[in-house]
Amino acid sequence: MCMENLRKRKVEQAFIEHYGNQPIIWVQAPGRVDLMGSHTDYNEGFVLTEAIERNTWIAARPRQDAVVRVSSQNIEGGAEFSLAVISYDEVSPWSNYIRGVAHILQIEGYSLNGFDGLIHSTIPFRSGLSSSAALEVATAMLFKTLGDLDISKLDIAIYCQRAENEFVGMECGILDQYSSAMGKEGNVLLLDCRSTTSEVVPLAPGLMVMICDTKAERELTGSEYSERRADCEKGAKALQTAFPEIKTLRDVTIDQFEAQRNNLSEVVAKRSQFVIEENQRVIDMATALEVGNFQAIGSLAKASFIGARDLYEISSPEMEAMMAAMSSAPGVIGARQAGAGFGGCMVAIIDGQKTVEFSKYVIEQYQQVTGIMAEVYQASASSGAGVLKF
């Protein structure tokens, strides 16, 4: 029995045990990994991203009332709420991603169906692979399917971002939700976070993306994230005095920044410099990946990590140890952080013929330094959210 069918059977059995009936609708939404573009999304910049095979499923059965009941095979406890009155859940905070999506969809005028749902995810939590966005997007896809709603995948991404911003209270950019909703199988996306459009970037033959999980949960707090976002906004506002055409740091050239650096505080200057340089690295990396310029891939990835560590200050001891292991591993071409930093996963681009040697080396070297058993696996580009057909 293939892994997907085995997973389906286990979820189905758990659903029957929990709700007494079989699920009749199955939806999925993938996690994502960014190959370049840390913290550029909320500056309306560019990101290189791909949806990954690890995903979140929701098995569901429609109800005849406006009640939503959800449970998870990954987290103890469940949640229940009425679509008529949606309030923030302090007891089971994971359910707020579901509540938030329902809240935003109803604000937008969509009529929603109640349901019984069981969640199962293969995306590790707090790892920088967007497990929360996958849950949001899967929820929106479920509401769309249950009610036959006329809602595009792009709208799903936008509404799910709003759910996280306005209901959950995390001021994230569009990257995670867009990647989960709009992923293209076999391809990386060059996402423009201002226009919410993307271009397909095919990887050069022979390249493989590897995710290296430090197994150190991200320690990024809402305040740390908000502080960095605020620093970027301060930088853009200060630069506007000299260059009125600037809206966000996405619009700033390095020459403009250098001309005004002394007018910024030290912290704001560091944050701004990273985002401006990172945004250009995204464009350069897209070209390097497509043509297979190994030297450029390596130097761009290294510069991104150094900038994230020294300018944006989002590294950790575990990330440092993982970077050292990845950078010296057989077959490595480029290595850097993934997601928002502060732990979680990192990403490497390697020679696809060296996946076994790379994985073995990274796990051994990282464990020697940290005492932690890392997880290393291939990240094949996946399609975005959709209905599962069995």
Kindly report the number of other CB atoms within 10 A of residue 325's CB atom.
28
pLDDT at 290 over 70: yes
The bridge status of strand 115-121 relative to strand 67-72 is parallel
For residue 218, pLDDT beyond 80: no
Catalytic residues: 176
The answer on 307 and 168 residing in a single domain is no
Same domain as 169, residue 117: yes
Q: Which pLDDT tens digit goes with each residue over 146-179?
A: 999 999 999 999 999 999 999 999 999 999 999 9
Tokens of 227: 């502080």
Whether residue 387 is contained in a domain is answered as: no
Please report the pLDDT score of residue 223 as a whole number: 84
Residues 262 and 128 in one domain: no
Q: Is residue 384 part of a domain?
A: no
Q: Which of 117-131, 220-234, 277-291, 338-352 has the lowest mean pLDDT?
A: 220-234
Percentage of the chain modeled with pLDDT above 90: 93
Say which CATH number the domain at 19 has: 3.30.230.10
Residue range 121-142: mean pLDDT, rounded: 96
pLDDT (tens digit per residue) in 308-340: 999 999 999 999 999 999 999 999 999 999 989
CA 49/CA 142 separation, integer angstroms = 24
pLDDT in the model for residue 169: 93
Q: Do 234 and 335 belong together in one domain?
A: yes
279 and 229 in a common domain? yes
Q: Residue 220 has what pLDDT?
A: 57
* Residue 154 domain-assigned (yes or no): yes
DSSP assignment letter at 204:
P
Enumerate the β-bridge partners of residue 27: 58, 387
Last residue of a domain, which of 201, 231, 248?
Answer: 201
For residue 389, pLDDT beyond 80: yes
Residue 44 — φ and ψ, nearest 5°? Answer: 60, 30
Give the pLDDT score at 217. Answer: 74
Q: Report the candidate in 388, 329, 316 with the shortest Cα–Cα distance to residue 358.
A: 329
Confidence class for position 76, pLDDT limits 50, 70, 90: confident
Nearest C-alpha neighbor of 338 from the set 325, 330, 348: 348
Mean pLDDT, the chain, whole residue set = 96
* Mean pLDDT to the nearest integer, 101-113: 99
Q: Are 263 and 251 in contact (CB under 8 A)?
A: no
Q: If pLDDT is split at 50, 70 and 90, which confidence band does 390 have?
A: confident
The residue range of the domain holding 226 is 207-378
Show which of 167, 201, 235 is a domain's final residue: 201
Evaluate whether residue 388 is within a structural domain.
Answer: no
Higher pLDDT, 157 or 217: 157
Across residues 240-264, what is the average pLDDT?
98
Residue 385: inside a domain, yes or no? no
